[in-house]
Amino acid sequence: MALAGGWAALLRPARALSARATQGLRSLSTLVLAEHKGGALQPNTLHTLSAARALGGPVTVLVAGHGIGPVAEAAAKAEGVASVLTADDPCLAHGLAEPAAGLLAAVEQRRGFSHVLAPSSTFGRNVLPRAAALLDVQAVADVLEIRDPDTFVRPIYAGNALATVKALGQGPRLLTVRPTAFAAAPASGGSAQVEAVSADELLAAQQAAGSSEWVAEDVRKSDRPELGQARVVVSGGRALKSAENFTTMLGALADQLGAAVGASRAAVDAGYAPNDLQVGQTGKVVAPDLYIAVGISGAIQHVAGMSSSKVIVAINSDGDAPIFQIADYGLCGDLFKLLPELEAELAKAKQ
């Protein structure tokens, strides 16, 4: 399957290649777009760094935002980082895709990296394809394995098959990397130099923002670990029957295990859980040490988001549910009886 020089060339009008493209790829060098939140570097950036190091060549991290000093310092300490670029401007404060993509494209055009990587998260999947369009190349999404600088493995058909794709043509390779497929790079041991992007690069971000404007956000604060980074995840499906049951019953089990709470698409569509808790192909991809699926049938799109979990426990009243085909342990029965029994046994074990 040919990507970067195939489909895109058929779909767009012919035009002169840029000077950057006609020169071909330079020697290997990788730019990683950092994801951060609340002044802290997100762990999925460390996983992306491992993918970047697998490519070979120096690795540069781009930290974009406002008031990002602590994030830049954390990125500079990560093992394997050669340098850190910072872009500090109010237009980048909330991670809007338009200015971030404009900045990313400008940095690539000015500095000529052979590869540009971002985590395959909501943030990365929002920014990188836009930057690829600005650079006139085809992005490769959800990379699981790097075979060589031009050849990558990614899932297709909701994770039921793996495709080996080769990026053809000129220009940089832009990839979103599935964090669960790569070990996290050590967060310490590095001492990279930190420098600010040029005024022209920052201007590109400001201009790309256009009419995009940050309005507000609705943040739900929780003492539970973040879904994408949790070691234990408890997910519920439509079989919980109501939002109240989802919150109380699933929440109680999650609190006992110190787990994050997830949801199937059916539970989200039914209004039992907010969209940011959805696990699956159209939600978040998780790979915890323990994944407990409560009242989830095991639809393909959900399995695509959690099948990499180390241990999977399924609780379902339907013994023929597809979820049992991938589960390491299964409890077949009424979840409204099994969950209280499981919670009671966990309470005894803690005594």
Instruction: Return the structure tokens found at 74.
Output: 């954390």
Contact 58, 69 (CB under 8 A): no
Is 297 known as a binding-site position? yes
Is 23 known as a binding-site position? no
Distant-in-sequence, close-in-space partners of 315: CB < 8 Å, separation ≥ 6: 292, 293, 294, 295, 330, 331, 333, 335, 338, 339, 342
Is 238 known as a binding-site position? yes
Is 256 known as a binding-site position? no
Is 265 known as a binding-site position? yes
User: What 3-state DSSP class applies to 314?
Assistant: strand
Is 300 known as a binding-site position? yes
Q: How far apart are CA 275 and CA 285, in angstroms?
A: 13
> CA torsion angle for 222, 227, 229, 233 (degrees, to 10)?
110
Is 245 known as a binding-site position? no
Is 302 known as a binding-site position? yes
Phi-psi sector, 250: left (phi>0), alpha (psi -120 to 50), beta: alpha
Is 299 known as a binding-site position? yes
In DSSP terms, which residues pair with 343 in a beta bridge? Answer: none
Contact 240, 270 (CB under 8 A): no
Is 275 known as a binding-site position? no
Is 86 known as a binding-site position? no
Is 170 known as a binding-site position? no
Is 154 known as a binding-site position? no
Is 278 known as a binding-site position? yes
Binding site as annotated, residues for FAD? 238, 264-265, 278-282, 295-302, 316
Binding site as annotated, residues? 238, 264-265, 278-282, 295-302, 316
